[in-house]
Structure 1
Amino acid sequence: MPKIVPEDKARQGHWGWHALRILLAGLLLAFIAWGAVEIYGEMIESPTSDQSVPQAPAPRQQPPQGG
């Protein structure tokens, strides 16, 4: 005959400080990774001084029309 256990006693475990610490550590690691990617993205996005930026040609001036 199986043993009958009340519902409130049949749980495997409860949420405690250990689970909270694991969740907070994971969140902290995610923020650190996000920050590293942001810094890396800013470094590769900014132009260096060795690169020259092409400039648009100056607009041509029309000769004065007069007669």
Structure 2
Amino acid sequence: MTKIVPEDKARQGHWGWHALRILIAGLLLAFIAWGAVEIYGELIKSPTSGEQHIPRPSGTEQGTAPGQSTAKP
């Protein structure tokens, strides 16, 4: 024999404060992880030393523009 259950008693459950707290905690953890990855990405992108290497075109001397000669007339 089947048991008849009223509609208000047959529900699985309701969304309450416990579920809301879990969702907010998950969102905060996702933001923390995102921030950590952003910071780590900036750290590995920047050079490790204070000097930056700027390559110069070969064949030019310091202080002259490309195409100018250093010979004096």
TM bracket (short chain): 0.7 to 0.9
Identical counterparts, % of pairs: 77
Give, in whole Å, the separation in 1 of the partners of 2:43 and 2:34: 14
> Using CA pairs below 8 Å that are at least 6 residues apart, which structure has the higher relative contact order?
2
Structure-1-length-normalised TM-score = 0.74
- Please, which runs of 5 or more residues in structure 1 have no aligned partner? 63-67
Runs of 4+ residues over 4 Å off in structure 1: none
* Match in the other structure for 1:61: 68
- Please, which runs of 5 or more residues in structure 2 have no aligned partner? 61-65
Paired positions, count: 62
- Correspondence 1:7-22 to 2 at 5 A: 7-22=7-22
Please provide the CA RMSD for this pair.
2.0
